[in-house]
A and B are shown apart, each in its own frame.
Chain A
């Protein structure tokens, strides 16, 4: 954590209220995001218990699995989830703009489609992102009856497709600065500092209590209550944002309700005549309603909190360079849409050596770009970089005209700038400023006796001997310089996967055979 973030946290403790870490919003919030609040079953990896999903805060769709260990019910849940998610995703697939782009293989310009907008998925917490990934992993290899008539437990038709989209979103969420799949807690933590630990910051209720406490209440008290306060039956007033549920809820309320549901189902199976069957069926519906009531009691507060978080974030104006990053998200969405349309197999279980290296390189590049763009978009973020010696704001006190000593002299004016900041500059170090949104670089020449810095401007002054109008700062101008580059460098082209060298195990085997789901084991069956 940076020094300025520490400072903000201490101020938050003193003030009893979260302090801003940003003056603009650094992530895209779509006009109509799809919020998904999932719950999982304790002790059963990847067994959903229920979810609220939808694009309208007033009308979420409730999905509940009354017996999470029942494979049929689980599939029904996933099919219903697909019914919500896929039409939303498909709604963005057809509105496109034509774009010219360089083909990476041939280097020639080709016209391609780029989706005008992309679907955005919001989950309450970081664990929710992990859960999206898990759902994707557990469903994308499933076979439907249409794909494979012999499969013993065919998945509902659209479930594998849902898995592929969730996998894509889960993977994209690992790219720094991307906004396709976001967690409300991450969003809030990016923009505000609370007076609690970063572990406690993962609690959506406590986080909102710090950022937006009720009238007159101190954030720390409100957060404490959100975390710990329980009603007379021992249930948390603010249930956790999931996907895990509170053990007290599991033991005292949920487990008995699921048992009652199981008994009701047995009674339906055991009913011998019409009358008892009707009664048993009514009992089953009652039992199911009870489970649904309980699940919604845990989901609804988180659903509301997530929308409240989005409301707080919408109050911040969007950073100038967020659009640029969102365009990359649109490319990512468009590319996956095209892969699905082309009938490509689902994402492999593991990346091969080349794909893994390419992803890592892309993410490092995205991280560098994100760090730079956030600082350029937001004076408060820049202040943090200035405090750590990675940037400085300075006033130009003198401009001396100078040129290179070549046959065709190019301008290399010397600037003397005065700053109160303490940048970590070595002689010859490069510094950058933003000139019309593009970086202009300068070289650090040395320090004057009075502590002011001498910089030599290096580029973006045009081709002629005299620098172009407006490209050289004037005396008295105040400019923010950064020691970091504004655009991350593009890494080298990696070999094709078929040309993976011997040091990395050679080309991957079975590159073209589609992966199958894991074989069914006795543990899979109830």
Chain B
């Protein structure tokens, strides 16, 4: 197991050491499985691509299991970019338009809806759902399972017969998989089908080597300590960049309005909390939605420019580098409508579930508990807040009604304790408090 070693001061060296150990266990270890925990933006995709290339180079037939088609296409493109000579199979569904058309331009990528057509290729990539339908084939020597913490145990059950050994990579802090029907009757069983693939794997194979990527390259120095403390208290990580390496500046000065002031605060400190007056509202709180849209609008109007380790000159902050995150789909739809009304195109607006694995310069988040009269398990889920608070490279602005701390105090977690289920730390209640108390230092009150 990799441990956090403050003695290794250089983040790049720490990350390289961890990667080398992971590749060593994967390529030369004896265990059937290797588990890698990766905090947000720690180079998980890079690791997957590198491990895939090295396994292919070692002549081990490799299957890669990702969770969504977008992830699969992204992986295939990365593999092709790194190693244009490597033949890659893209196994896809028989729906219409089953894969990214960009793959058609790549000669070395063979695409098929039948696993048999792709037999013998060094690497075959597909989604867990598609792999589950593959039957009666020679098992692969090795597999890489990406986003393994978002994969459900029953999905792993359906594909595990296809490979001899596997590397499981994922982020334990993000959203847990869920089921639309109750699965309490299996809670506590080591193979609870609704649990994550990794928890089942480790319950049955506790001796498997577990590694950790220690450096987040995405999160700025202002965000990594908070995200690490609030969501990964026992497995801390740090940012790859130091304070001052990333800067955000605006060409147009503040007009003194609340959105402008919260943007200045966020540009300065990496965090901003725009607090609306306390009120119980429907999910699509019109005032909060409008405030979110206004912040985005001002962010673009004020000609933001981002300085980072990626380039020497400031890079203009464009709409495609901004995302709005919400808890519910109807909230996302309401924000989209509000942005359209303000004439702002091109900004990604999505729920936490869909923002997983994505990266932006600035994010604007509608707090999951804003305006709610109660705090349900859904809204308290640690992973939801973690995803929303860890998508940004520069700054994150949270829009929220006042009174959420009181709401939390009135609603301690009441989920029944299930025998045999490992209690997850931190719980959402605690993580929410940790984030809110940090945000309170960057608060700007809404003044209409």
Residues of A at the B interface (CB closer than 8 Å) are 3, 174, 176, 350-354, 356-357, 359-361, 363-364, 366-368, 388-389, 422, 424, 428, 458, 491-495, 499-506
Contact = CB atoms under 8 A, between A and B. Distances in A.
B126 interface: no
A505 B204 contact: yes
Given A503-B205, A505-B204, A363 B181 contact: yes
A248 B6 CA distance: 64
B154 interface: yes
Nearest to B134: A492
Given A174-B182, A353-B157, A504-B157, 4 more contacts: A351-B186, A360-B193, A492-B129, A492-B158
A337 to B, nearest CB: 23
B193 A357 contact: yes
Task: Report, as a range, how many residues of chain B touch the other chain.
Answer: 35 or more
Nearest to B158: A492
A422 B428 CA distance: 33
Contacts of B96: 458
Nearest to A6: B282
10 contacts: A351-B186, A357-B157, A366-B181, A388-B330, A389-B329, A389-B333, A495-B158, A501-B157, A504-B153, A504-B160
A174 B197 CA distance: 24
A216 to B, nearest CB: 33
Given A492-B133, A503-B204, A353 B161 contact: no
Nearest to B33: A503
B190 A357 contact: no
A495 B193 contact: no
B161 A501 contact: yes
Contacts of B132: 491-492
Interface in B186-244: 186, 189-194, 197, 200-201, 204-205
B333 A354 contact: no
A360 B160 contact: no
A505 B190 contact: yes
A199 to B, nearest CB: 12
Chain A contact residues: helix, strand, loop or mixed: loop
B158 A504 contact: no
A494 B191 contact: no
Contacts of B158: 357, 492, 494-495
B180 interface: yes
A361 B160 contact: no
Contact of B157 (A359, A458, A494): A494
Contact of B160 (A364, A368, A503): A503
B189 A504 contact: no
From B157, B201, B205, B333, name the one whose CB has the most chain A CB atoms within 10 angstroms.
Answer: B157
B185 interface: yes
B399 interface: no
Nearest to A176: B181
A364 B179 contact: yes
A138 to B, nearest CB: 16
A458 B96 CA distance: 10
A502 B157 CA distance: 9
B183 interface: yes
A491 B154 CA distance: 11
B141 to A, nearest CB: 15
B204 A357 contact: no
Contacts of B201: 503
A3 B283 CA distance: 10
A360 to B, nearest CB: 4
B255 interface: no
Contacts of B330: 388-389, 424
A354 B157 CA distance: 8
Given A424-B329, A492-B132, A502 B154 contact: no
A495 B134 CA distance: 11
Contacts of B182: 174
From A357, A363, A494, A500, name the one whose CB has the most chain B CB atoms within 10 angstroms.
Answer: A357
A495 B161 contact: yes
A356 B33 contact: no
Contacts of B180: 364, 367-368
Contacts of A499: 161
A504 B191 contact: yes
Contacts of A503: 33, 156-157, 160, 197, 200-201, 204-205
B135 interface: yes
Contacts of A360: 154, 179, 181, 183, 186, 193-194
Interface string B427-438: 000000000000
From A176, A359, A428, A492, name the one whose CB has the most chain B CB atoms within 10 angstroms.
Answer: A492
Top 3 closest A-B pairs, CB basis? A501-B160, A492-B132, A357-B154
B138 interface: no
Contacts of B50: none
Contact of A500 (B129, B157, B179, B193): B157
B32 interface: yes
A149 B161 CA distance: 45
A356 B186 contact: yes
Contacts of B135: 493
A280 B160 CA distance: 69
B392 to A, nearest CB: 24
A137 to B, nearest CB: 11
Interface string B329-346: 110010000000000000
A495 B96 CA distance: 28
B430 to A, nearest CB: 26
Nearest to A3: B282
A335 B204 CA distance: 33
Nearest to A500: B157
B312 interface: no
A424 B331 CA distance: 11
Given A388-B330, A389-B330, A495-B161, A350 B181 contact: no
B406 interface: no
A503 B182 CA distance: 23
A354 B180 CA distance: 19
Contacts of B154: 356-357, 360-361, 494
B415 interface: no
B10 interface: no
A424 B205 contact: no
